[in-house]
Amino acid sequence: MAAKTVYLAVYPTFADWETGHTTAHLTQHGYTVKTVGATTEPITTMGGLRIQPDLTLDDVRAEDDDTALLILTGAQLWDTGDELAPFARVARTFLDAGVPVAAICGATAGLAREGLLDDRTHTSAISFYLDATGYKGGEHYRESDAVTDHDLITAGPTEPVAFAREVFARLGVYEGEKLDAWYRLFHDSDASAYEVLES
């Protein structure tokens, strides 16, 4: 069975605008997106939306044949305590199993605290944001919109389109000219890219 299930982590103050491009286009290409919370109690996003998680962290298995990706977004809670640390620990199980993890904004700090950025090339909001976590991966930090290092994708908070591009590339949703055209259309509003996507 092809890996087609994407797990989207959701938690209070979840930055709901950061994954819209990613999840919408994955869904249009045959992926199933399942929301995952610490519990199945509804959470309220930073944008004021209520989401009831489909599953809990305990239900998620990286080793399942249909598991394709774990997405972690920013949230105020990444910077105010350890409440979201269990999500970073689940990210470790995904990476250990060779299943991609995509983290944007504050989620990168959670991965840094978990030690997952110590030996992987990565990016975030800015280097000193991650330095404040006490992690040991500063030499692997890159000033870039988004970075992919094997199974780990990272991006800063202002780059949801670049984040989506890296996810699509890693999963093979778009490749080559079409990947470039998708990015030009949604990042640069380049109308000429539409024809390439439709070809």
Q: Provide the CATH number for the domain around residue 73.
A: 3.40.50.880
Could you tell me if residue 194 is inside a domain?
Answer: no
pLDDT mean over 68-76 = 97
163, 22 contact by CB (below 8 A): yes
pLDDT digits (tens, 9 = 90+) for 126-178: 999 999 999 999 999 999 999 999 999 999 999 999 999 999 999 999 999 99
Q: How confident is the model at residue 2 (pLDDT cuts 50, 70, 90)?
A: low
Q: How much is the pLDDT for 1?
A: 43
Alpha carbon distances (Å) from 88 to 30, 58, 116, 165: 26, 13, 9, 22
Could you tell me if residue 189 is inside a domain?
Answer: no
* Domain that residue 114 falls in: 5-174
- Which positions are catalytic? 105
Could you tell me if residue 186 is inside a domain?
Answer: no
Q: Is the pLDDT of residue 86 over 90?
A: yes
pLDDT digits (tens, 9 = 90+) for 112-121: 999 999 999 9
Helix (H, G, I), strand (E, B) or coil at 134: coil
Could you tell me if residue 166 is inside a domain?
Answer: yes
Count of structural domains, the chain: 1
pTM here? Answer: 0.96
Could you tell me if residue 181 is inside a domain?
Answer: no
Could you tell me if residue 139 is inside a domain?
Answer: yes
Query: 44 forms bridges with which residues in the sheet?
Result: 50
Could you tell me if residue 67 is inside a domain?
Answer: yes
Element (H, E) at 101: strand 101-104
Could you tell me if residue 183 is inside a domain?
Answer: no
